[in-house]
Homo-oligomer: A and B are copies of this chain.
Amino acid sequence: MTGTDQAAKAVTAAAVESFRDTPDPRLRELLQGLVRHLHSYVRELRPTIQEWEYAVEYLTAVGRKCDPTRQEFILLSDVLGVSMLVETVNEEGGGTESTVLGPFHVVESPKRESGDGIDLMSVGEPCVVALRVTSADGSPLAGASVDVWQCSTDGFYDVQQPDIQPLGNGRGLFRTDDEGRVWFRTVVPSHYPIPTDGPVGVLLDATGRHPYRPAHIHFIVEADGHRPLTTHIFVADGPYLDSDAVFAVKESLVADFAQVDEAERARAYQVTAPFRLAEFDIAVQPETNKDAG
């Protein structure tokens, strides 16, 4: 071991030790682990002073890009696969798979009734999404809340186009009926690029990565006595399903948005044929003691 290696180990030991008196044991564990892993990165990759300065400037720029409707740190976490990994390590298996929250859950969804439309623009391919929410054992969950958000047919969320889309376009907060069902009218969402006009765009550009996400609709499902579930459904057969910029595609979440031509079925959903219909079951898991603790 060279003198510098010894000196480096001493710095790591001192930084880990500095957190020894942290009153909250979980915070202590998270911070001491953070120091160990960050230091292990520095010791392996040996960034130069200039590279470290660039990293500081980069993170500063990420922070300064954030505002109430733009969350560049979530976006950075997303493109590094960290958001998806956090989702994955928190999954217990058994119900519908989870996936990333993404950076666009930044405003409250307006309360809507089953059958309402969430599309306020009337541009795009008419679509009905019909969900059934159950517990992991298949029993329907009445009164579960289903928070929905999606982009427009042009690939933008309401908050990205404040001059074009009314706030709340593509969003809705629903409750399931006695059979655990809820449905709503919308337009088929488009694939879209994540925002590239900030530091995350610089990163993608410098690394030859495309910024696209396959078309999807976001959900957060919450039911009494169950773990909240954050997930998407992805539109089958669209582009970028195999190269999502944020690594969030799971096969079980890819849903058929089938074309329906029958006028009678269209009438049942208060739309005109032809329309696209996605039927999807969402199963959430009962809470465990661990969740309560």
Contacts and interface: CB of A to CB of B under 8 A. Distances in A.
Given A12-B85, A59-B59, A27 B90 contact: no
Interface of A: 2-4, 7-8, 11-12, 14-15, 18-19, 21-24, 27-31, 33-35, 37-49, 51-52, 56, 59-64, 66, 71, 73-74, 77, 79-93, 101, 203, 206-209, 230, 247
A66 B74 contact: no
Contact of A37 (B37, B56, B63, B84): B37
Contact of A88 (B11, B74, B90): B11
Nearest to A19: B207
B63 A59 contact: yes
A43 B12 CA distance: 21
B73 A66 contact: no
28 contacts: A11-B81, A15-B82, A19-B207, A19-B209, A22-B207, A22-B208, A28-B207, A33-B41, A33-B44, A37-B37, A37-B38, A37-B40, A37-B44, A38-B41, A39-B81, A42-B82, A42-B85, A42-B86, A43-B85, A47-B86, A49-B101, A56-B71, A56-B73, A56-B77, A59-B59, A59-B62, A61-B63, A64-B66
Contacts of A46: 89-90
Given A15-B80, A37-B38, A207-B31, A60 B71 contact: yes
Specify the main secondary structure of chain A where it touches its partner.
Answer: helix
Residue from A23, A60, A83, A206 having most chain B Cβ neighbours under 10 A: A60
A102 to B, nearest CB: 12
Contact of A63 (B40, B48, B66, B74): B66
Nearest to A30: B45
A48 B62 CA distance: 23
Contacts of A60: 63, 66, 71, 73
Contact of A15 (B14, B61, B247): B247
Contacts of A18: 79, 81, 207, 209, 247
Contacts of A52: 77, 82-83, 86
Given A15-B80, A49-B87, A85-B11, A4 B93 contact: yes
A91 B8 CA distance: 10
A91 B4 contact: yes
Contacts of A77: 52, 56
A51 B71 contact: no
Given A8-B88, A47-B86, A60-B66, 10 more contacts: A8-B89, A11-B84, A15-B81, A18-B79, A24-B206, A28-B207, A42-B86, A47-B89, A63-B73, A64-B66
